[in-house]
Amino acid sequence: MKFIDQVRIRVKAGDGGNGCVSFRRERYVPKGGPDGGDGGKGGDVILQADSQLSTLLDLSYPQQFCAQKGSHGKGKNQTGRNGKDLIIRVPLGTLVRDDETGELLQDLIFDGQKFIAASGGRGGRGNARFATPTHRTPRHAEKGEKGEERWLKLDLKLLADVGLIGFPNTGKSTLLSRISSARPKIGDYPFTTLVPNLGVVEREEGRSFVVADIPGLIEGASDGAGLGLTFLRHVERTKLLVHLLEISGDPVRSPLKDFQTLNHELNAYHPFLTEKVQIAVLNKIDLPSVRSRVEEAKKTFETIGHRLYAISAQTGEGLDELILAISLALETLSQENQAMREQG
């Protein structure tokens, strides 16, 4: 399925039905009086978050969505039928903005959460509504109100606890496939991953967490190199970042330099990303050329106050320790946030 995370759509709520001008006409009932019914309300356009969706593909074409109009009122005081609401399903994490003003209208983050993007027009009143003791035969009724109409910009930002970032071919997709049930595309060439992937990591104590695998960054991404910063919006909501590093392809490559380069690109996208909790991980220690440099790399990271975890996503070595570290970090962040809520 094609991954689409930004779309622009036009939504048009249903118009209200017109009120009816009618007079009672029955045998033996002279001067029956007005009996025109009201028009029905137009349908609303509703955006609803759905946890089963992961892309905005279905909204990329068509781009116009209209709810049903309300029916007109009828004689014998019959009210017109209300128009059916149009429900548009979107993935969790969809931001809804007014396309003209850029105003954020809603952030859909809970399964089943709804937002009325355009309200249907009110039905017009029939002439029976205008009868008074001094004006018993009103010959006018109201027209239904127009339904709301607007252009919206939908921006999907995946909901994940952990953002997995790194240079191309560091093994992010392999790691995600080992620690979760996700099955991302894996290859031995750069930019195998072209879209973000999500995986749920199950823990024995039941405290699972969601990991987002972000397509590989490279130096100069902030200037448009490689895939640029196209998908970094999907780590904005994460609680922590895992830097996956590797040095197998270059004997002089430095994990610390790669770590600093990635942070430079994060800062170029938005400085607040570098303020997130970060875990540094050296992958591919199953290779002798990497294993021989693990201790040196760990000491280098200690000088900047970071612990470097060493793993092999291919064989599974070190993964239990890494998952435990991520779980503990998430638990600490949760406790800190809870304490802040209680204080504030």
What pLDDT is attached to residue 206?
Answer: 57
Examine the domain organization and report whether 113 and 248 are in the same domain: no
Residue 149 shares a structural domain with residue 188? no
Q: Does 233 lie in the same domain as 133?
A: no
The two tokens of residue 74 are 């009828």
Residue 12's nearest CA partner among 56, 43, 41 is 43
20-34, 55-69, 193-207, 294-308: which is most confident: 294-308
**Span 139-172, pLDDT tens digits:** 999 999 999 999 999 998 877 889 898 888 888 8
Q: Are residues 82 and 184 in the same domain?
A: no
Q: Are 148 and 180 part of one and the same domain?
A: no
The candidate with the shortest Cα–Cα distance to 54, out of 239, 226, 199, 172, is: 199
Over residues 240-264, mean pLDDT: 86
* pTM value > 0.75: no
Residue-wise pLDDT for 312-335, tens only, equals: 998 999 999 999 999 999 988 888
- What is the structure's pLDDT at 249? 64
Average pLDDT over residues 211-229: 63
Structural domain ending residue among the three candidates 123, 139, 156: 156
In a domain, 70, yes or no: yes
281: its two tokens: 């991980």
- Single-letter code of the amino acid located at 339: A
**pLDDT computed for residue 190 by the predictor:** 43
Domain count of the fold of the chain: 2
Judgement on whether residues 308 and 330 belong to the same structural domain of the protein: yes
List, in order, residues 6 or more apart from 283 with CB less than 8 Å away.
170, 171, 175, 244, 245, 246, 311, 312, 313
Are 246 and 184 contained in the same domain?
yes
Asked if 130 and 173 sit in the same domain, the reply is: no
Same domain, 193 and 338: yes
Residues in Cβ contact with 150 at an 8 Å cutoff, skipping those fewer than 6 apart: 10, 11, 98, 99, 100, 117, 118
pLDDT band at 227 (very low <50, low <70, confident <90, very high): very low
pLDDT for 191 equals 42
pLDDT of residue 187: 46
Residue 1 lies in a domain: no
Q: Place 4 in a pLDDT band, splitting at 50, 70 and 90.
A: confident
User: Considering the domain boundaries, does residue 131 fall inside one?
Assistant: yes
Of 126, 156, 186, the domain-final residue = 156
CATH number at residue 122: 2.70.210.12
- Which H/E stretch holds residue 172? helix 172-179
Q: pLDDT band for 221, please (50, 70, 90 cuts).
A: low
pLDDT at 325: 92
Asked if pLDDT for residue 135 goes beyond 50, the answer is yes
pLDDT score of 19:
96
Range of the domain at 55: 6-156
Looking at residue 226, its pLDDT comes to: 47
Partner residues linked to 86 by β-bridges: 45
CATH number reported for the structural domain that contains residue 290 in this entry: 3.40.50.300
Question: Any residues with CB less than 8 A from the CB of 321 and at least 6 apart, and which?
Answer: 309, 311
The mean pLDDT value of the chain amounts to 86
Do 93 and 166 have their domain in common? no
| Residue 246 and residue 304 share a domain | yes
DSSP string, 260-286: HHHHHHHHHH-GGGGGSEEEEEE--TT
Q: Residue 280: is it exposed, middle or buried by C-beta count within 10 angstroms (0-12/13-18/19+)?
A: buried
Given 136, 156, 176, the domain boundary residue is 156
Q: Phi/psi at 176 (nearest 5 deg)?
A: -60, -40
pLDDT band at 108 (very low <50, low <70, confident <90, very high): very high
In the DSSP assignment, the letter for residue 130 is: G
Domain shared by 70 and 215, yes or no: no
- 171: which 2 tokens? 């093994």
